[in-house]
Copies of this chain bind each other. A is one copy, B any other.
Amino acid sequence: MRVVDVTDPADPLLDDLRDLNKSDKRPDLPGGRGLVIAEGTYVVGRMLLSRFTPHVMLGTDMRLEQLRREATAEGWDADERAGDAVYLRASKDLISEVIGFKSSRDILAAANRPEPLSVESVVDGARTLVVLEGVNDPENLGAIFRNCAALGVDGVLFGAAAGDPMYRRVVRVSMGHVLRLPFAHLSGTPTTWQRSLDDLHEQGFRTIALTPSADTSLARAVDAEKVAFVLGAEGPGLTEHAMRACSVRAAIPMTDGTDSLNVATAAAVAFYERAREG
């Protein structure tokens, strides 16, 4: 890591971290530069441990020391992992001015997007996967990745119409785990991608549609060598196409009707049931 002190908010070194809230300039939005942004020492730490190598970081001196301490406590070296990345050391005020809002985190990092992973590389060796159809709320996407990381899910596959997991809020809500957990996009249109589920079946996966219109209990459904949970967006849920393509339909027993658990919470319960059995 190279530490460079910055005092001029117009310094071009800061350009990749400018105006993070302005939708016409947002580096993480479609049409933007495709940059992936991490905020806070914990999430910046996850980025340093991931395949998303940051080329630039921005933060206070205090946060730099905190990042180094937390890494050491976890058994790795922040300077070594950061390699050639530059750490722009600045005041809180300069950071707020550059990013365009007051952040209590005072440390950020930006990485270019690496090549996407192949579906094969995500599936190979996995015991538990998640397949997402149409989930595009960034809070839900982030929470699903966080829950995957906590509860032992090996990877995430995106069907059609799901949101971009590299969006800044997804990274933040996921606690940076979206940077570390392997994910890939299945090919096909909203009405054809479901055929990819057959590829999973051929590789020994039982695909479990999580839906209130279930034909088996969650506890029974997860009892298989390889399992892929298939989740739809909160509200509409899975398409009929997707449900028909799955091996089984399972429900979480609920007292209060169908829409009572948030999709990421329902996912956590399913992952827990799987880890419980495993």
Contacts and interface: CB of A to CB of B under 8 A. Distances in A.
Interface string A45-74: 000000000000000000000000000000
Contact of A149 (B147, B149, B219, B255): B255
A265 B177 contact: no
B275 A272 contact: no
Given A177-B256, A253-B275, A256-B177, A261 B150 contact: yes
A143 interface: yes
A152 B265 CA distance: 15
A7 interface: no
Contacts of A268: 261, 265, 268-269
Contact of A150 (B143, B219, B254, B264): B254
A22 interface: no
Interface in A134-162: 143, 146-147, 149-152
A104 interface: no
Contact of A151 (B146, B151, B255, B262): B255
Contacts of A146: 260-262
Nearest to A217: B276
A147 B261 contact: yes
Identical subunits present: 2
Contact of A219 (B254, B261, B276): B276
Given A219-B276, A269-B269, A275-B253, A149 B260 contact: yes
A164 to B, nearest CB: 22
Contacts of A262: 143, 146
Interface string A243-278: 000000000111110011110110011001101100
A36 interface: no
A105 B85 CA distance: 46
Contacts of A170: none
A254 B143 contact: no
A149 to B, nearest CB: 5
A5 B146 CA distance: 48
12 contacts: A146-B261, A149-B256, A150-B261, A151-B254, A151-B261, A175-B260, A177-B256, A219-B276, A253-B276, A265-B265, A268-B268, A272-B272
8 smallest CB-CB distances across A and B, nearest first, come from: A150-B260, A152-B255, A269-B272, A150-B254, A265-B268, A150-B261, A149-B256, A150-B256
